[in-house]
Structure 1
Amino acid sequence: MDAGRQPCVFCEIAAGTGSARMVYEDAHTLAFFPLAPATRGHTLVVPRAHSTDLWAMDETAVQHLFRTVLVVGNALRAVLGPDGMNVINSAGEVASQSVFHTHVHLVPRQPGDAMGPIWPPKGDARRDRDDAAKDALAARLAAELTGR
């Protein structure tokens, strides 16, 4: 742990000093149930090595993380047979990240579950409807991605 950084509950679980209902672990990742699951089977997948969010990780670490997301997600589908599943990664406080150690939520979904919708209603006036602004943003993003 860095000087000045608060203890990380996920690092404690990875080190074996914290407690969790572990469902999977390998050399790079862990998967366990959160303390307050949103639905039955809600599982967190985390890298063993501390990183604050997905963009702080190197490509190899991300590959290990998402390999485990697939493995655990497939197991959840086999065991629970959910009608759907959310795969959620939040980065930053404004995006609802509450533990600042990269993690992916696998949330099995059934009609009428406690999770509810995750997108704003279709008629929400806060949605971006400015076509010229969307075109300009798409062009800027494409230029960034092609290295221009």
Structure 2
Amino acid sequence: MSDCLFCRMVDGEIPADVVLRTDRVLAFRDINPQAPTHVLVIPQAHHATIGALAEADPALLGDVVAGAHAVARQEGLVTGDGAEPGYRLVANTGPQAGQTVHHVHLHVLGGRGLGWPPG
């Protein structure tokens, strides 16, 4: 989709601070971070919402979640020793949930305490 910001990042038309790229997933640092670690993980194929992706390609949704975990490990939020600091995944779906870019994306947040409820 030529008017989709994230599709343009996947295509290299818009620069991104990429932290992970696979054949199906792209992860890059958020330009307005809400935590010391704030990375967006997206499918390279365009899907507007997480529900649309779950219906169209559940395996790709699994790849996005696996990519988010790989980013968390890479960023030191998962150590494997049981003492990991942890991380939060956020998926905003629809305008009332705060989705502003209509291309599925998971926010990987960590590096500080994250309160509950989130807001």
Which of the five TM-score ranges fits, normalised by the shorter chain?
0.7 to 0.9
1:119–1:48 distance in 2 versus 1, CA, 3 Å: same
Q: In 2, distance between residues paired with 1:31 and 1:99?
A: 15
| Residue in 2 that maps onto 1:46 | 42
| 2:36 and 2:112 in contact (8 A); partners too | no
Q: Verify the 8 A CA contact 2:78 2:86 in the aligned structure 1.
A: no
The Cα of 1:109 is off from its aligned counterpart by 3.9
Residues 62-99 of structure 1 show CA distances to partners (whole Å, capped at 9, x for unaligned) of: 111111111111112159x9733211011101011111
For the pair 1:89 / 2:91, whether they are aligned, the reply is yes
More helix per residue: 1
- SS of the counterpart of 1:7? coil
Q: How many residues align?
A: 112
Higher relative contact order (CA 8 A, sep 6+): 2
Q: Under a length normalisation based on structure 1, what TM-score does the superposition of the two structures give?
A: 0.68
Query: Please, which of 6, 12, 17 is the counterpart of residue 16 of structure 1?
Result: 12
Shift in Å at residue 40 of structure 1?
1.4
Residues 1:36 and 2:27 are matched in the alignment: no
Root-mean-square deviation over aligned CA pairs: 2.3
- Aligned residue in 2 for 1:104: 106
CA contact (8 A) 1:82 1:110 kept: no
Higher-Rg member (1/2): 1
5+ residue gaps in structure 1?
Answer: 122-148
Question: 1:44: how far off?
Answer: 0.4
